[in-house]
Amino acid sequence: MPVRDLTAEDFVSYRALSSGAFGGGPDPSSSVSPRDFSPGQTALGIDASTLPSGADGVIAAGARIRHDQVALGGGVTHCGGIAGLAVHPAHRGDGLFGTLLTAVLARCSSEGMALSMLYPSNPSIYRRFGYQVVARGHSLIVPLVDLQRIPAVPDRRLVAVTEESMPRLHRLHHELTAGDNAMLRRRPPLFPETLPAPPWAGLLLEDADGTAHGYVSWTRRADAADGVGLEVHELFGRTRCDRQALLRSMGSWSTVTELIRLRLRTEDPVLDVLPGAGARPDPSPVPLVMMRVIDTAATLGARRAPAALDGALRLVVEDGTVPEGTCRAAGTYLVTAHDGTISATAAEAAAEETEVLGTCRLDIHATSLLLVGGRTLADARRLGLHAEADPPAEAFLDALLAGPRPSVLDAF
């Protein structure tokens, strides 16, 4: 069952497969014409005609690879975002899922992607191929009466986000999330720089000189029977006072609605400025984020080491989830940190005189959890993952990968 690149001629068949699996397809009365897949994406698939009793012109299994970039430990690296992976009902149970996903991972590797990311509805099937849950979506239901109590913040003003000012919002977002782990960089062509379509709206927070200090974006809900009248997508500020000013602006909506749903990053600093005790967890299903290391050396090399950290360890990564050669994750590496830079080289190519603190041995799930940042080897062991190390090497790796826990927000 050969896997091949899908072209414009396959667009209609893949669209039918994807909408049949996930819903949200086009109106049956509308026509869908052959066209190229979205820029910044690679589509792969398996023809049904290559399978026993398969029909011509049908895509038996297909997926898209997004050519994303993510922030990682103060740096940026390439990440294959997996979307729309589906198997036709006529061919489920025939092994197509594993064949296709293995091919997807191999393509990510060949195109220089250090990581892969996806949002699973069934985590267990992806875990079999080395993916590990690294983050969960967080939202709070916040009563607007609490936000009305926030005092005004001096030397700050609010201005509407327009088509002209949208590039400023992009630049501010990149600046304020540069130190996060796993946040998407939101660059074209996957993320256009134009203003999102209504009913999206946003505000920039400026000082008297016009310097941007934060922003908030939201969508007004037409049906707010539950009292949640606003979906607040993001609220970012440089300082605690900036976040207070933005929350206060949300309180002005209390004349038309009672509650907002506030989407948060993991351990979001906004939590420290929410007043009152009325906020409660969003009862909606919690979205999961899974990631997988494709290239261990590239993932580590993209990160920045703490300036005062200097040393080396031997890292052994074990990966029995995909055929050998599919990815560049498994192997034995000499990992060094010096002058803020991390390097990882094959152990056999490293200088013999390099003094190491010891050895760390990780399975692919522990590797994927830890190299994305914000977790320790002890955290990995508590999850039942294989993570063993000599004590000095463990302390060194924990310090090397310290930082905020991963967060993924996929749109303004």
Per-residue pLDDT at 31: 55
Range of lowest pLDDT (21-25, 31-35, 122-126, 260-264): 31-35
Summarised one tens digit per residue, pLDDT across range 165-202 is 999 999 999 999 999 999 999 999 999 999 999 999 99
For the chain, where do the domains classified as CATH 3.40.630.30 start and end? Answer: 4-113, 138-281
Class of domain 4-113: alpha beta
Confidence check: pLDDT of 353 > 90: no
- Which of the two residues, 23 and 196, has the higher pLDDT score? 196
For the chain, where do the domains classified as CATH 3.30.1050.10 start and end? Answer: 295-400
Choose among 296, 257, 248, 270: nearest CA to 113. Answer: 296
Q: Please, which pLDDT band fits residue 226 given cuts at 50, 70 and 90?
A: confident
Per-residue pLDDT at 28: 47
- Dist. CA 94–CA 57, nearest whole Å: 19
* Spatial contact of 409 and 117, defined as CB atoms under 8 Å apart: no
Name the architecture of domain 295-400.
2-Layer Sandwich (3.30)
Q: Please, which pLDDT band fits residue 223 given cuts at 50, 70 and 90?
A: confident
Q: Please, which pLDDT band fits residue 29 given cuts at 50, 70 and 90?
A: very low
Mean pLDDT, the chain, as a whole number? 94
Confidence check: pLDDT of 136 > 50: yes
Per-residue pLDDT at 276: 80
How many CB atoms neighbour CB 123 within 10 A? 14
Class of domain 138-281: alpha beta
Confidence check: pLDDT of 117 > 90: yes
